[in-house]
Amino acid sequence: MDLTIDVADFSPRKLFAALDQPFPVATADPKALSGLAFSARLKADQTSLAVSDGKLKLDDSNLNLVLKIVNFSKPDLAFDLTLDRIDADRHLPSKYSAPQNDGRPAEKSTVAASKTAPPPAAAPIALPAALAAVDARLQAGKVIINQKTIEDIRITLTANTGPIKLALAARLPEGPLTVSGSIGPFGADAGR
C-alpha cells in the first residue's frame, strides 16, 4: 500500500452544527476546535507501516508526525512528534482543575471503609512483552496549561532489550527542568 491522505481544513464545530448534533467536546474557549486539517503519506506491507510527512493542524497549532512500525508480530516502534505551540487552556473544559472549596464543610462519605479487607496490592510495573523496541521523540515549542507557559519541551523515550531510558528537558516559568533516568530491565532481562 502506498497512500496519500489529505483532509482539507474544515471546522468540526460547523460540521456538528450542520448535522444538528451537539458538539461532543466542552472547551473553555467556544471558538476552540473550529479549524482542523490533516495530511500524511502511508506506506505499508504485510510486516511494516510507515507514516511520513504527517501534518495535523488544530486551530493555530501545527503538529508534524513521522511513524514507523517494523515487524507487526513483535514491533519495533519509532515515532517523532513536533508541535509548534498549543494553548491547552482553550481546548480543555473551563473547570478541568480541582474543584475549589467554597468554605462549607465537606460532606461525610456514606460508604464505610472495611476494617477487615486489606488494601489492594499495587500492580507491578511491566513492559509490553509484544514490543521489540521503542524510539519515541516529542518536541514542543510552547505549551500553555493552567495559565503557565512551558517552552522548549523535549522528551525522548528509548527501550530495547535493556532498561527503558527517558530524558525530559523544558523551560518552565520557574526555570529550566532536566530529568533523565531509566527503569528496568524486566522479565527475562532482570538481573543481567
Across the beta sheet with 36-44, the strand order is 2-10, 36-44, 48-58, 61-70, 76-87, 133-145, 148-159, 164-172, 175-183
Residue 189 predicted with pLDDT over 60: no
Asked if residues 54 and 64 have their Cβ atoms less than 8 Å apart, the reply is yes
Model confidence pTM above 0.75: no
Residue 4 predicted with pLDDT over 50: yes
For residue 120, what pLDDT is reported?
Answer: 56
For residue 183, what pLDDT is reported?
Answer: 82
Mean pLDDT over residues 111-140, rounded? 62
Q: Which residues of the chain form beta strands (DSSP E)? A: 2-10, 36-44, 48-58, 61-70, 76-87, 133-145, 148-159, 164-172, 175-183
For residue 67, what pLDDT is reported?
Answer: 95
Task: Name the least confident of 48-52, 107-111, 141-145.
Answer: 107-111
- What pLDDT digit, counting tens, does each position of 133-173 carry? 889 999 999 999 999 999 999 999 998 877 889 999 999 99
- Percent of residues, the chain, with pLDDT higher than 90: 64
For residue 43, what pLDDT is reported?
Answer: 96
Q: Closest Cα partner for 58 from 102, 11, 18?
A: 11
In whole angstroms, what is the distance from residue 143 CA to residue 61 CA?
10
| Through-space distance between the first and last CA atoms of the chain, rounded to whole angstroms | 41
Residue 179 predicted with pLDDT over 70: yes
